[in-house]
Chain A
């Protein structure tokens, strides 16, 4: 098979750079596996390894520093048949560390070639995540106080399915690349090489020392055995096929008549666990069942099961413009947490507002008409108070009707919950 190297763009690396050996190795591996130019994409990172896309006459994608794995993942998910090769330096490993770890965890079928030459060659030989502590590099003393990492052990701990270390000078390079590329899952090859332009000017590193250093590193076999599993894009498609198709959004037909004209604002003030937000949604559904427009805004803390829960609903037979509360028709007050959250609003209420308040809750002084309800005396449990308060309004034909509320309950709940909710509505009926 013909070489996949780009004849019109011959390699331009510094004399003696091991990247050129890797480039030929990749070409020989791909052609040896019979992979055609249109069947492979080279995704390259930044730095000298970032030149690879240009030297291959294949699909090619060159992006930002450290982010090559992110593009490669998107490409692989979109085109599962493609052989995706990512070239990255030891610099890319550091800046894109989160992506390296996450790609290992996913086990998506990409081959990451780490062209590891222990420094940032392109910018002047600064230290990278793999620079030995004793090396003399362009970062002054900084590398002496940091520990270099063995990317293979890191990747193994993160779940990589295939790991290998090889010298760019090793006769087995092509075979190593082929094996990695043939692996059905994420494969990482840590390829040690020499940067003559920067690194070996001040540090001793030869093919021989690389070979002996590599030989001393711990085996990776255990990681590979432990991390063997289904490839990500295949697992994704299998899981996706099992997901239920969500039906189109429910259409609510106008089947009731609203007792109100114009705009009505309703505020429910409660605490977590009182199903305040659900009650707000029920109000919206009630309105929609009467052909009214509705908006709902909620206010709750980042914690769940604790703190205030506030919902603001507007129902209107005309378009709702401003979604804030200006002059509420009804305020339902079920917990002190909600009161504390809307003290200012409560104190400014006019006599146009009707407040339904659970027994025992203190309100700031205001002009509103207040009716107190002893939910406990009616044997209604706290999580049902909000619904019961809506039912009280409905029985009085204020804001909504019982018919509207029942239509909303039917839209919102399955039959078992619906029946329970109906019992709450009955308990709230005038005595």
Chain B
């Protein structure tokens, strides 16, 4: 056995490289700067591009341009930067531009605390665009996940032509940890579906079961167009309500109907447990400790760790919660993802444990809620 030792931010960088990332642009911000530092070391000598934008808006803009020119792009920031990305995120959603966006969450609101962790952006990532259209958000639990889920994020961004977020947290990204990289099973690389450049081409053309348009790059042999305006299949602005509705419906369905294909989770099933703890991110680690400590107690609980947060893996949550009457949702905020559980599981007793003070939620706090509600 051999181990590697690295921070979550470094693991995100190495995961991106393993997934074929060849373009990164970012703006320095604690606690995400480690990703930029890593990409700056890794990409240029290997023929890739790593840029520092004049601000976050430029950084993601570089990525969107490069992505449409055929590169596999990533950017990384924290809450304040996600705020600035917002309009570009809307563009990437509506115009189907693959890009991996790392949000190393820190305690907000606003500039908040640069070196304190939180999971305060979880609903913001989902709803922070001007459309309401869905996005994919994956949440790593540890350094190993930082590596693997970043690889997964690239595959999903390419496959579904959309922005894919990694909802990291200072407490994972800036924590150094051992992992055995060689033992990890990185998913095979998926690249975006190319269109036939010799046939007639519609930049947003789909049909039949195909929900994601084929891709031809800007700068390729055949002129192609990209636009942030409301467009039809031909990539030109349209005012036709039928075309508009069809595009909106397709963008909504292409992720929501596919979520079972990329529902990542972990579980810890404990016999005779009537309580199911649901957690994600770094808090899942404390939840795991809590559940293990209570295994032989009078209050056994099972654990579901969600790693795909958006679109909500509704079927998974309903299935795993079916045998339990008591649900405990734990997250590092004042109650964000628990809203989804209350929506999905109206008949269950749902207890919530949250905290926004810059500190990790402790296993003991979770044990208390499991036992006494």
The chain A residues found within 8 Å of chain B, CB to CB, are: 9, 37-38, 41, 43, 53-54, 57-64, 67, 69-79, 81-82, 98-99, 101-102, 236, 239-241, 243-246, 249-254, 280-281, 284-285, 287-288, 291-299, 302, 320-324, 326
B54 touches A321 (CB 8 A): no
**With A and B bound together, what is the CA distance between A75 and B51 in angstroms?**
13
Choice from A78, A82, A253 contacting B2 with Cβ under 8 Å: A253
Whether a CB of chain A sits under 8 angstroms from the CB of B6 is: yes
Known: A62-B228, A74-B23. A287 touches B45 (CB 8 A): no
If over half of A's interface residues share one DSSP class (helix, strand or loop), that class is named, otherwise mixed; here it is mixed
Residue interface mask B247-290, A partner, CB < 8 A = 1: 00000000000000000000000000000000000100110110
Residues of chain B within 8 A (CB-CB) of A298 are 174
B6 touches A249 (CB 8 A): yes
Which residues between 168 and 183 of chain B lie within 8 Å of chain A, taking CB atoms? 171, 174-178, 181-182
B interface bracket (residues with beta carbon within 8 Å of A): 35 or more
B360 touches A323 (CB 8 A): yes
Chain B nearest CB, measured from A43 CB (Å):
8
B62 touches A77 (CB 8 A): yes
Chain B nearest CB, measured from A49 CB (Å):
14
Residues of chain A within 8 A (CB-CB) of B236 are 9, 54
Known: A252-B2, A288-B178. A61 touches B292 (CB 8 A): no
A77 touches B66 (CB 8 A): yes
Choice from B3, B176, B219 contacting A251 with Cβ under 8 Å: B3
B64 touches A254 (CB 8 A): no
Chain B nearest CB, measured from A397 CB (Å):
21
**With A and B bound together, what is the CA distance between A67 and B228 in angstroms?**
12
Residues of chain A within 8 A (CB-CB) of B285 are 320-323
**With A and B bound together, what is the CA distance between A89 and B10 in angstroms?**
41
A63 touches B176 (CB 8 A): no
Known: A71-B61, A74-B63. A58 touches B69 (CB 8 A): no
Residue interface mask B341-373, A partner, CB < 8 A = 1: 000000000000000000110111000000000
A295 touches B175 (CB 8 A): yes
**With A and B bound together, what is the CA distance between A41 and B60 in angstroms?**
19
Known: A254-B2, A321-B288. A38 touches B223 (CB 8 A): yes
Known: A58-B223, A294-B177, A324-B362. A63 touches B4 (CB 8 A): no
Q: Residue of A at shortest CB range from B359? A: A324
B91 touches A75 (CB 8 A): no
A75 touches B45 (CB 8 A): no
Q: Residue of B at shortest CB range from A102? A: B54
Whether a CB of chain A sits under 8 angstroms from the CB of B318 is: no
In the complex, 23 of the A-B residue pairs with CB atoms within 8 angstroms, ordered by the A residue number, are A38-B219, A59-B219, A61-B227, A67-B58, A69-B61, A70-B58, A70-B62, A71-B65, A71-B68, A72-B65, A74-B65, A74-B66, A77-B66, A78-B70, A99-B57, A284-B5, A291-B3, A293-B3, A294-B5, A320-B285, A322-B289, A324-B286, A324-B359
Residues of chain B within 8 A (CB-CB) of A70 are 53, 57-58, 60-62, 64-65
Chain B nearest CB, measured from A190 CB (Å):
21
Known: A75-B69, A78-B219. A288 touches B289 (CB 8 A): no
B61 touches A63 (CB 8 A): yes
Q: Residue of B at shortest CB range from A68? A: B61
B51 touches A77 (CB 8 A): yes
Chain B nearest CB, measured from A11 CB (Å):
14
Residues of chain A within 8 A (CB-CB) of B14 are 249
Q: Residue of A at shortest CB range from B203? A: A60
A78 touches B71 (CB 8 A): yes
Residues of chain A within 8 A (CB-CB) of B223 are 37-38, 57-60
Residues of chain A within 8 A (CB-CB) of B171 are 297, 323
B5 touches A252 (CB 8 A): yes
**With A and B bound together, what is the CA distance between A280 and B5 in angstroms?**
12
B289 touches A60 (CB 8 A): no
Choice from B3, B54, B68, B363 contacting A322 with Cβ under 8 Å: B363
Chain A nearest CB, measured from B78 CB (Å):
14
B178 touches A59 (CB 8 A): no
Which residues between 44 and 101 of chain B lie within 8 Å of chain A, taking CB atoms? 44-47, 49, 51, 53-55, 57-58, 60-71, 73, 87-88, 91
Give me the 9 closest cross-chain CB pairs, A-B, nearest first.
A70-B61, A74-B65, A79-B219, A71-B65, A240-B44, A78-B69, A74-B66, A74-B62, A102-B54
